[in-house]
Amino acid sequence: MTMLAPSILSADFANLQRDVELVLAAGADWLHVDVMDGHFVPNISIGVPVVKSLRKATGGFLDVHLMISQPERYLDAFAKAGADLLNIHVEAEGDMEAMLRHIRELGCKSALTIKPNTAPEAVFPYLPLCDMVLVMSVEPGFGGQKFMPSALPKLRALKAEILRQGLNCLLEIDGGINLQNAGEAASAGADILVAGSAVFGAGDVAAAVHSFKLL
């Protein structure tokens, strides 16, 4: 079954514990945590202290999406804060192979992300070091943007390559996911759907989670 990872970027930061408890109780699988540095993306969101507080507040799986230019400087801190998965962009600075290995040494799941203008082939060499690949279906930086269908063939290409290499690597999609396009994202190969505004922006958050899980 396809997993759901609500993005807390669209939650109420003054009531984060309430919001994460609500989505997890409703059946959400993971919590997607968007970290932005105002440099890799034109927005600033949250960092290590929030992950640390979340870790104390919940046993939920923390899927940490690092939209930062120099991830190697912060991997240890995010792992220590309690991240379960550390996800770095292939477009970021640094030695991808070394960083992915280091993430696993820190005891976290490892992941690579591609932006909308990056070809899936960019991550093919690193797939054996990835527990997950994230395909962005919007330009990273902001919640509430429109889904880009160009992400779907990328998921299919990645799925085929993961099978070809005989790997156990999950696929995630992030950006503009809603109840209308979630089905096609799952059919294209997404194992995990990230949804921010479609979950926390819904009138009834728990009902939105239930609807995603019924797809």
Active site residues: 34, 174
Among 10, 87, 110, 181, binds ligand DX5 (CB under 6 A): 10
32 binds ligand DX5 (CB under 6 A): yes
- CA 107, CA 90: separation in Å to the nearest integer? 20
Task: Select the span of 53-61, 94-102, 103-111, 189-197 touching ligand DX5 (CB under 6 A).
Answer: 189-197
Q: Give min distance, CB of 151 to Zn ion, in A.
A: 13
174 binds Zn ion (CB under 5 A): yes
Q: Give min distance, CB of 6 to ligand DX5, in A.
A: 9
**HEC string for the chain:** CCEEEEEHHHCCHHHHHHHHHHHHHCCCCEEEEEEEECCCCCCECCCHHHHHHHHHHCCCEEEEEEECCCHHHCHHHHHHHCCCEEEEECCCCCCHHHHHHHHHHCCCEEEEEECCCCCHHHHHHHHHHCCEEEEECCCCCCCCCCCCCCHHHHHHHHHHHHHHCCCCCEEEEECCCCCCCHHHHHHCCCCEEEECHHHHCCCCHHHHHHHHHHC
Of 197 and 211, CB closest to ligand DX5:
197
Q: Give min distance, CB of 136 to ligand DX5, in A.
A: 7
Task: Select the span of 56-64, 134-142, 148-156, 207-215 touching ligand DX5 (CB under 6 A).
Answer: 134-142
195 binds ligand DX5 (CB under 6 A): yes
Task: Select the span of 88-96, 136-144, 151-159, 204-212 touching ligand DX5 (CB under 6 A).
Answer: 136-144
Of 117 and 168, CB closest to ligand DX5:
117
Among 34, 37, 63, 131, binds Zn ion (CB under 5 A): 34
Size of the site for ligand DX5 (CB under 6 A): 22
Closest Cα to residue 175, out of 2, 3, 57, 7?
7
Residue at shortest CB range from ligand DX5 = 196
- Positions touching Zn ion (CB under 5 A) are 34, 65, 174
